[in-house]
Structure 1
């Protein structure tokens, strides 16, 4: 295993930061948490913290400019996930969904349609609250991705 992936986290609103750190420690994989200055993150062993300004896309821009092929990015942002995939990295949602070429186009279209509805005065539902099952699903998916890397030297 020559190229150790970094788990890069869109940490502003990530609900599974603790789970990421636990799984990363098991596989001795570094974690980079990227958040705006509005969010307080505590440094700890194996976790690098990068704080960026609070403008709208600062976290996304930092992540997209610093990821490498094979890195694992945890984000709820479909736009960022699209960029991540184009750079040869893996994109996971905090609920354990792996974004890939087979689903990202649909997710982006759905986001666009919901945004159009809201601009037109329509109402849309937000995401359901994170459950303990969602957290377990995420941990299992991240573990599978890291096992795949460990076995094949690629995530």
Structure 2
């Protein structure tokens, strides 16, 4: 596999679009933003694909395009599970890489939270995003890009 991976961003509500593009540019990686018509996001250093507004429209657009080895930035556990099934890499906006070891537990937590909300209960929302979240994302995403590029270079030499 000599091809450099694409980086897809589930851009609807993603707080690290600019950071992702900046890091990807250092590694000469192509970034594709996927958003729906209510969140049209454009960036000069990334391709933007706008899909119709609808439940999971952006998720399915990403899943249909992603190939083995590509990277997806998303905070959606369901999308992450689909990405992992396609042998691509998924990471959230805080630098957590989704893996076969953690996705089941995350999906179970999401399911339990939905049950609580449906029964009228409340779940505490996410904490306000802080600078430390961005710093962790930059560190982990940079590390991921370095690993991916090294693997490509190593395979190319062989």
Q: 1:117 and 1:64 mapped to 2: Cα distance? A: 29
Aligned CA RMSD, in angstroms, stands at: 1.2
The structure with the greater share of residues assigned to helix is 2
Q: 1:57 and 1:43 mapped to 2: Cα distance? A: 22
1:90-109 → structure 2 map (5 Å cutoff): 90-109=89-108
TM-superposed CA distance for 1:149, in Å, is 1.2
TM-superposed CA distance for 1:43, in Å, is 3.3
Q: 1:79 and 1:10 mapped to 2: Cα distance? A: 12
Provide the residue aligned with 2:127 in structure 1. Answer: 128
**Pair 1:68 & 2:67 matched:** yes
The residue matched to 1:125 in structure 2 has which SS? coil
Provide the residue aligned with 2:15 in structure 1. Answer: 15
Q: 2:152 and 2:32 mapped to 1: Cα distance? A: 20
Structure 1 alignment gaps of length 5 or more: none
Provide the residue aligned with 1:78 in structure 2. Answer: 77
Q: 1:138 and 1:18 mapped to 2: Cα distance? A: 12
Q: 1:51 and 1:85 mapped to 2: Cα distance? A: 23
Structure 2 alignment gaps of length 5 or more: 154-158
The residue matched to 1:68 in structure 2 has which SS? coil
Provide the residue aligned with 1:4 in structure 2. Answer: 4
1:49-60 → structure 2 map (5 Å cutoff): 49-60=48-59
The residue matched to 2:39 in structure 1 has which SS? coil
The residue matched to 2:49 in structure 1 has which SS? strand
